[in-house]
């Protein structure tokens, strides 16, 4: 019962203070309606057929992978981003979402990470999400 109340309060918080990213997340979840969805701590998680993960307010999306340890790491990591959204509200997208997306998909930054052996999770948005989600660093 206590877990349900906490989840409802978290959902209300994300739906007000984090309304922008939560609305976008709801639309993405509806787009992937045929994928598995479940509650993970205080967010709604979807296992989608993409290779990347993303968190948008109350909603988190993780790739389908066979390795249970990696799956747990990704769930915790994306949950950490959900917590960042709860803390930052309307500042989440400019302070976390956009920088994280650029760090992930910009070809020049991908080359920089490969050339210099820089871990993806060393970037502030990712290392903070790991700490919040209780994930062990992989670098």
The answer to the question of residue 119 being in a domain is: yes
pLDDT tens sequence across 60-112? 999 987 666 668 889 999 999 999 999 999 999 999 999 999 999 999 999 99
In a domain, 138, yes or no: no
- Residues in CB range of 132: below 8 A, 6 or more apart: 79, 80, 83, 84
Tell me, yes or no, whether 61 lies in a domain.
yes
pLDDT of residue 139: 40
Number of domains in the chain: 1
> Considering the domain boundaries, does residue 139 fall inside one?
no
Q: What is the pTM of this model?
A: 0.90
Task: Round the CA-based radius of gyration of the chain to a whole number and report it.
Answer: 15
User: pLDDT tens across 45-71, in order?
Assistant: 999 989 889 999 999 999 987 666 668
38, part of any domain? yes
Per-chain mean pLDDT for the chain: 92
Any domain includes 114: yes
Quick one: pLDDT at residue 101? 95
Look up tokens 């739906």; give the residue.
15
Instruction: Supply the range of the domain harboring residue 21.
Output: 2-133
């Amino acid at each position: 019962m206590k877990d349900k109340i906490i989840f409802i309060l978290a959902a209300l918080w994300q739906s007000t203070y984090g309304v922008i990213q939560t609305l976008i997340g709801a639309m993405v979840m509806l787009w992937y309606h045929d994928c598995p969805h479940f509650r993970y701590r205080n967010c709604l998680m979807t296992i989608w057929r993409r290779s990347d993960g993303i968190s948008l307010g109350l909603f988190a999306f993780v790739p389908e992978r066979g390795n249970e340890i990696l799956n747990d790491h990704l769930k915790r990591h994306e949950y950490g981003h959900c917590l960042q959204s709860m803390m930052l509200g309307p500042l989440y997208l400019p302070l976390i979402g956009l920088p994280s997306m650029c760090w992930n998909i910009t070809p020049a930054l991908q080359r920089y990470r490969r050339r210099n052996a820089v871990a993806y999770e060393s970037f502030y948005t990712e290392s903070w999400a790991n700490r919040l989600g209780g994930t062990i660093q992989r670098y």
